[in-house]
Amino acid sequence: GGSALTLPLHTREEVEKLLNRTCEGEESGANEETDWCSLAGLLGYKEEHIANFKQEERPIQALLSHWASQDSANIDTLCTALKKINREDIAQSITVKPTATSTV
């Protein structure tokens, strides 16, 4: 199995914070919901799973902590999914490594 470090809590909180930020100041949560729902879909979740997460107080956190418990969960996979929903900003912010400066 994977270690708990594959997706540390601070990483999940960072992703949640940034996903929530997209529609700050907007009345409708449509953008934000689309973002994380698309992300959930890319991570392999079906509609009914996503519907369950929506019932949670913090749906993004529920999604990420559930996903993090799976063997396939790691930051690379998460970043790939984030880039597919055009949230490369989040991908970069959770993969910043002090030593690696080269970007591909």
Q: How many domains does the chain have?
A: 1
Residue identified by tokens 């910043």 is: 96
- The Cα 26–Cα 23 span in angstroms is 5
Residue 56 lies in a domain: yes
Digit-coded pLDDT (tens) for 45-72: 999 999 999 999 999 999 999 999 998 8
Residue 101 lies in a domain: no
**Given this model, what pLDDT does residue 99 score?**
59
Residue 102 lies in a domain: no
Q: Are 10 and 64 in contact (CB under 8 A)?
A: no
Residue 61 lies in a domain: yes
Q: Which domain holds residue 17?
A: 4-95
Residue 41 lies in a domain: yes
Residue 2 pLDDT class (50, 70, 90 cuts) = very low
- The closest of 48, 38, 52 to 83, measured between CA atoms, is 38
Residue 40 belongs to domain with CATH number: 1.10.533.10
pTM exceeding 0.85: no
**Given this model, what pLDDT does residue 31 score?**
53
Residue 46 lies in a domain: yes
Digit-coded pLDDT (tens) for 9-50: 999 999 999 998 755 545 444 455 789 999 999 999 999 999
Residue 28 lies in a domain: yes
Residue 57 lies in a domain: yes
